[in-house]
Structure 1
Amino acid sequence: MNGIDMGWWWLIGGVLLLIAEVLAPGFFLLFIGIAAMVTGVFVLLFGFGLAPALALFAIYTALAVYLGRKVYANRPVPSSARHLNDRSAQLIGRSAVAVTSIDEHGGRVRLGDGEWSARGAAVQPGERVEIIGVEGNCLIVEAAPKLGA
């Protein structure tokens, strides 16, 4: 197999790796596919044999992975939801209703269709509370401001 034929095989292999990345995304085959395609271009241009082509492929793969990690590791994903993956933190600021009396030692509140452990300001059953924090699975609450007061 001459260098020209081998160059086309490198390019075809690179394209197949890119297609595999699209079908089963893991964001790693992209770098290997790019390295294979660059190797294919160099083999087509300069007619390298198998050993130099493999060496180039190894170098280009390492370089592509290094640059890819540099670029994508420093790009924060913008999110309008500050606590997107912190579900309990999403509860802060919401209001709930005391099911039992609540004090600094504990109590229970109803939030949505569930009950949560809570502690904080002294509140009687039936009163509205506002969630001001979360510690583990215990909500930290304070008495909600009275409407019209």
Structure 2
Amino acid sequence: MFDYMAGLGTWNWFILGVVLIILEVLVPGTFMLWLGISALAVGVIALAVTMTWQVQVLLFAILSIASVFLWRKLQGSNDHVSTPTLNRRGDAFIGRTFTLEKPIVDGLGSVRAGDGVWMVRGPDTPAGSRVKVVSSDGGALTVAPEA
């Protein structure tokens, strides 16, 4: 097996690079991509410059570490971007006005908001009235009549 791999020479790097990039597609995370690109770079360099396999492995390690760190540094500014209401969908409706789909009777009613129907809490109000969302509590929105 090792003799076969040694017989491929620099093509091992191209094969490794393609395999790592395919792995990146199957298991995303932008980590294998940089290892794959590093392997392809070593393959290209090995075609142009004669090197021992030890030097090639060392070059692969250096390029891999450098590319991962460089990518992390360049992406560092984007890591802090967040969506504050991602897991609190109701919070995204605070301050918005909706029309009651079902009247608020005994403190409960419903509105169509976003892609669904939301239960609302508030003072008794007839269907078709405009209400403003003042807060969110789990799956229910607290509303007040629009002024």
Q: Could you say which TM-score interval applies, normalised by the shorter chain?
A: 0.5 to 0.7
Deviation, 1:96, is 4.7
Aligned to 1:56: 59
Stretches of structure 1 that go unaligned for 5 or more consecutive residues are 102-106
More strand by share: 2
1:133 to 125, 132, 135: 135
Deviation, 1:130, is 1.5
Deviation, 1:20, is 3.7
- Identity rate of aligned residues, in percent? 28
Per mean C-alpha deviation after superposition, the further-off stretch among 42-51 and 59-68 is: 42-51
Q: Quick one: distance in 2 between partners of 1:36 and 1:132? A: 55
Stretches of structure 2 that go unaligned for 5 or more consecutive residues are none
Within 5 Å, which residues of 2 pair with 1:68-147? 68-75=71-78, 86-92=88-94, 93-97=96-100, 98-101=103-106, 107-112=107-112, 114=117, 116-119=119-122, 123-126=123-126, 128=129, 129-145=131-147
Q: Quick one: distance in 2 between partners of 1:85 and 1:72? A: 23
What amino acid sits opposite 1:25 in the alignment?
Answer: P
Q: Quick one: distance in 2 between partners of 1:138 and 1:115? A: 6
Aligned to 1:34: 37
Q: TM-score, normalised by structure 1?
A: 0.66
Aligned-pair RMSD on alpha carbons? 3.4
Q: How many residue pairs get matched?
A: 133
2:14 to 11, 35, 49: 11
Q: Quick one: distance in 2 between partners of 1:114 and 1:124? A: 18
* SS at structure 2 position matched to 1:47: coil
Deviations 1:107-138, CA, capped at 9 Å, x for gaps:
3221237552525xxx3242632113324444
Deviation, 1:67, is 1.4
Deviations 1:78-120, CA, capped at 9 Å, x for gaps:
9xx995664213333132534234xxxxx3221237552525x
